[in-house]
Amino acid sequence: MKTLFAFFTRPFILVANFTRHLILLLLFLAILYFFFGGKTLTISEQTALVLAPKGFVVDQFSGDPTSQAIDNIRGTDIPETRVRDILRAIQIATNDEKISALVLNPDYMWGAGLANLREIEYAIDDFRNQSGKPVIAMATNLSQAQYYFASLADEVLMDPQGFLFLQGFGSYRNYFKDGLEKLGVDVHLFKVGEYKSAAEPYVRNDMSQEAKEAGLHFMNDLWETYLTGIAQRRGLSTEELQEIVDQQAQRLMQNKGSVADMAVDAGLVDRVMKQSFMHKRIAEVSSFDDANNHFRGVAFEDYLAMNLPEVLPNSNRIAVVVAEGVIMGGEQSPGTIGGASTSALLEQARLDNSVKAVVLRVNSPGGGVYPSEQIRRQVDALKVAGKPVVVSMGNVAASGGYWVSMTADSIWADEATITGSIGIYGLLMTYPELFNKLGISTDGVGTTKWVGAFNPTKGLDPEFADLIQSNIEYGYQQFIGSVAAARNLDVEMVDRVARGRVWTAKQAYDLGLIDQLGGMQQAIADAAERGGLGADYEVTWVEESLSLTEQLFVDMMATASEHIDLSGNQNSQNLQKLLQPFAAELSLILDARPGEVLQMAHCMCELNYLP
């Protein structure tokens, strides 16, 4: 009897213990928050605003808000910095009399797309022109993206032990055809267009000539944009800068192996100095801090916390919806585009009576065909509701990324945006040979010849292969037909520039695939004009956010983290950092059901994060 009683009461005891421990934890966090939280930051006169982006520069944080905030506090997240936060900090600092200078520090930036870097470039140029305040960069090691960021300054300071290397743009991938055949895996590719090369690694051992031709065409144009931006600020011609890049080895030997001296000699950097002297130099345009050994500066994250935007009632709003990442079906967390979740955000903007226009910020290489179409239909629904939709393309808006954009009232893209890749493909993997090697056979009966057509353990029936190819061709015709109708072009003309070929936005503009060259701010201004708003409007970001209770819990954890160690496994973070750029693409393959034909509008063309 006693054992039976214990059996029935044990679950209740466990629940009670868990509840008690949870209450004690929340009480502990609340006490810490009461005594140590709520402190306000202040800045003094002659303070420099420090822009030191951490991790990847993105349009939208990855993951749901609660998990992202907690991981950030514990230090186990993949660091990310939103472009809009950098832009807003620069904008506020322009007219802030306490901010005397802007300091750029790229040391902690892991990667950034060229289009996003150019958004920051426009903001810094406005800051400089409107305020007359100096902009100084301090750096140790400079990758290609980090150097572009540093070059936005009036003066670039580099550590004597620093490193700088410019390598250009390229695309090198692994090819698995022979390896898959040795494993007994057969990959069946169905596509339209000789330039649709995303799935080539599964059916070839090398890059096709068409992929090489198209890749070099858009990469050379992108490289020209990169060189031009730096050359103009460094007082060089693009030819001189290209020569410097080509001669890095010889120039380094001439400077006895010192990269910093080579950079100064080439005109890429202004001065070489150790960190302590960098602080003294920057203190000349700001001041020394209270300890008198560093310049007085405020991190842009803290600066934004001191300048929270006022939320005022406004019946004229422009809603910004961010679509960033690979496009997948269903509900997806931010950082990945979900056919259902992103559609829901657009629907939310449509049903909000205060929203008069929508800007869809697209930064995606594409993904699934159907979820792309789901999102595009919501764009059309907004237009039917009388709300203009303007697309602002980020680093890449190709294939499915172009699909969701094509019927907008207006499409804006930066010169450095990668777009196009209009086309779709299907992928089916079977492995009867693998089963043969293992001594496993497949047999059975069915009521029609189609039974088991998707069975990956059987060989692909040629007639079934024709059926799939026919469906892919139908999808392609639907794609180019929709582009032609939306862009007021002939279908034949669209077919010539489509066929899976990738373009830069400059090239796409000449081909009629986009409307205007420009950044996010120009797209917002266009939306305001189309919505008849004049200058009286507010920009609101439609996205998943923390509830009041979740925000309070996160704030308490942040306060607690200052006094207790909440950090996680550093090795786990390093592994996430390594896999992060490829995670979504891997999910596209790994999440497929056995025997499923993956219908994709996807482009392996993004240079989202420059090397």
State the catalytic residues. Answer: 196, 399
Is the model's pLDDT at 608 over the cut of 70?
A: no
- Asked if the structure places residue 127 within a domain, the reply is yes
- Asked if the structure places residue 449 within a domain, the reply is no
- Asked if the structure places residue 160 within a domain, the reply is yes
Query: For 393, how many CA atoms within 13 A lie in the half-sphere containing its CB?
Result: 41
How many CB atoms lie under 10 A from the CB of residue 296?
22
Q: In the structure, what pLDDT confidence band is assigned to residue 575 with cuts at 50, 70 and 90?
A: very low
Rounded to the nearest integer, the mean pLDDT of the chain is: 86
- Asked if the structure places residue 478 within a domain, the reply is no
- Asked if the structure places residue 31 within a domain, the reply is no
pLDDT of residue 555: 47
Count of structural domains, the chain: 1
pLDDT of residue 465: 95
Is the model's pLDDT at 26 over the cut of 60?
A: no
Q: In the structure, what pLDDT confidence band is assigned to residue 594 with cuts at 50, 70 and 90?
A: low
- For residues 328-342, average pLDDT: 94
pLDDT of residue 72: 55
CA distance linking residue 325 with residue 335, whole number of Å: 5
CA distance linking residue 392 with residue 400, whole number of Å: 15
Is the model's pLDDT at 296 over the cut of 70?
A: yes
CA distance linking residue 279 with residue 322, whole number of Å: 38
For the entire predicted model, the pTM comes to 0.86
* The token pair that represents 45 in the structure block: 């006169």
- Asked if the structure places residue 349 within a domain, the reply is no
- For residues 59-76, average pLDDT: 65
Domain that holds residue 151: 47-170+223-305
* The token pair that represents 44 in the structure block: 């003094």
CA distance linking residue 357 with residue 533, whole number of Å: 9
pLDDT of residue 602: 78
Phi-psi domain of 335 (left: phi exceeds 0; alpha: psi -120 through 50; beta: other)? left
- Asked if the structure places residue 555 within a domain, the reply is no
One-letter amino acid of 590: L
Q: In the structure, what pLDDT confidence band is assigned to residue 601 with cuts at 50, 70 and 90?
A: confident
Is-contact 169 223, C-beta < 8 A? yes
More confident residue, 243 or 19: 243
Least confident of 349-363, 435-449, 584-598: 584-598
CATH number at residue 151: 3.90.226.10
479: three-class secondary structure by DSSP = helix
- For residues 257-268, average pLDDT: 97
pLDDT of residue 550: 45
Is the model's pLDDT at 210 over the cut of 70?
A: yes
- Asked if the structure places residue 146 within a domain, the reply is yes
CA distance linking residue 196 with residue 602, whole number of Å: 9
Is the model's pLDDT at 290 over the cut of 80?
A: no
User: What is the rounded radius of gyration, in angstroms, for the C-alpha atoms of the chain?
Assistant: 27
Q: In the structure, what pLDDT confidence band is assigned to residue 162 with cuts at 50, 70 and 90?
A: very high
- For residues 280-308, average pLDDT: 90
CA distance linking residue 233 with residue 223, whole number of Å: 16
